[in-house]
Amino acid sequence: MAKIIDGKKEAAAIRAQIKSQIDKITIQQTEKVNLDVILVGHNPASEVYVRLKEKACAEVGIVSCKHTPPTDIALKDLLLLVDQLNEDSNVNGILLQLPLPSHLNISKVLDRIDPIKDVDGFHPINVGLLSQNQAKLLPCTPAGCVELLDRYNIPIQGKHAVIVGRSNIVGKPLATMLLHRNATVSICHSKTVDLAAITLQADILVTALGIPEMIKAGMVKEGAVVIDVGINRVENQLVGDVAFAEVAEKASWITPVPGGVGPMTIAMLLSNTLTAYRLQQTKS
Ligand code: NAD
């Protein structure tokens, strides 16, 4: 029976560390660390995520400021808002809550964010730095996955890590991070032929595909470490991409949903905001 990787507990520990570091900045230097969030329109899931992020910021002493342009905002006006935040020296981090309404080109907006304030790590410069293993601001969810493995002393080097899902925000950056940690990495996606044949080889299996409980016990090697990034709402309950009960019978370690990767994503966002603040201090 698998042991639980408790993301909720680890995220709380990270938040406590960040709080003590932010307390020092605000008390000794009488400065504030600031995260500005842009939430376009009224996507209900996005509104929930932003509320969670605001709450987490408040808990550690990061000042968060929310900008809520209407759904029909023109691209040029959204870019203008990003420009204003880029220029404002009181703003340390800028987070663009995704998805955006379909008339807005996500890349154009993400590319406009000053890379030194890009707390999601999605700007092409930060993506490039990650590719060269020189990243300072890593995408939050994959960083949270690696942090969990490290905090549970789960070895990565030499292991076969299989990632199901190739999104720019999870699958691809996670593959790069695990490669830098000397894992042998396979990336699977919707066009992969015989998915189970590949997932069965995984020492570390990460699922980020967004299909409720699609990964069954028969797709998992005995003793594998299973990190479930998926967050899917089914009959008003959150479930992962992994059929938790049956896979837990086979895995050595497993993350629950909720309480696994989700809280780590937010903890990494706070950590990136503090890193961004420090990068800006050393730059000026
Ligand atoms: P996405 O929705 O952009 O893409 C899904 C990926 O899964 C694609 O690469 C696709 O090729 C792959 N896929 C789809 N069907 C497949 C199949 N049958 N077999 C193999 N691969 C398949 O991905 P995303 O934005 O990374 O989100 C994935 C999941 O992770 C979602 O449930 C999302 O809610 C969740 N998520 C959670 C967090 C967190 O903090 N825990 C953060 C981001 C995303």
In this structure, which residue's CA is closest to atom 8 in ligand 1?
A: 165
Angle of CA points 112, 118, 119, to nearest 5°:
150
CATH of residue 48: 3.40.50.10860
* Whether residue 236 is found in the same domain as residue 189: yes
Same domain? 248 vs 147 = yes
Note whether 148 and 36 are same-domain residues: no
User: Within a 13 Å sphere around the CA of 232, how many CA atoms are in the beta-carbon half?
Assistant: 18
The verdict on residue 124 lying in a domain is: no
Give the per-residue pLDDT at 28.
83
Same domain? For 152 and 101 the reply is no
Residues 45 and 84 reside in one and the same domain: yes
Nearest to 228 by CA among 136, 214, 49: 214
Q: Are residues 239 and 176 in the same domain?
A: yes
Pocket of ligand 1 (CB under 6 A): 141, 164-167, 169-171, 188-190, 192, 195, 208-211, 229-232, 261-262, 265
pLDDT the model gives residue 9? 98
Between the CA of 66 and the centroid of ligand 1 the distance, in Å, is 26
> Which ligand 1 atom sits nearest the alpha carbon of residue 170?
26
What's CA 214's distance to the chain center, in Å? 21
Domain shared by 158 and 59, yes or no: no
Q: Do residue 144 and residue 231 come from a single domain?
A: yes
Q: Which residues of the chain have pLDDT under 70?
A: 284
Rounded to the nearest whole angstrom, what is the distance from the C-alpha of residue 171 to the centroid of ligand 1? 8
Q: What is the pLDDT of residue 29?
A: 79
Out of 10, 148, 170, give the residue to mutate to test ligand 1, the one with the largest number of ligand atoms within 8 Å of its CB.
170
**Domain presence at residue 122:** no
CA 162 to ligand 1 center in whole angstroms: 14
- Residues 248, 152, single domain; the answer is yes
Decide: 35 and 95 in contact? Cβ < 8 Å.
Answer: yes
For 163, the domain range is: 140-262
**According to the model, what pLDDT value does residue 230 have?**
98
pLDDT of residue 244: 98
pTM over 0.85: yes
CATH number at residue 198: 3.40.50.720
- How far is Cα 49 from Cα 206, in angstroms, rounded to an integer? 22
The token pair that represents 126 in the structure block: 């930060």
Structure tokens at 255: 């993350």
Asked, as a colleague might, if the bond just before 99 is cis with ω within 30 of 0, I would say yes
pLDDT reported for residue 61: 97
Domain total for the chain? 2
Looking at the structure, tell me whether residues 109 and 209 fall in a common domain: no
Pair 160, 235 in one domain: yes
**24 in a structural domain:** no
Is 272 part of a structural domain of the chain?
A: no
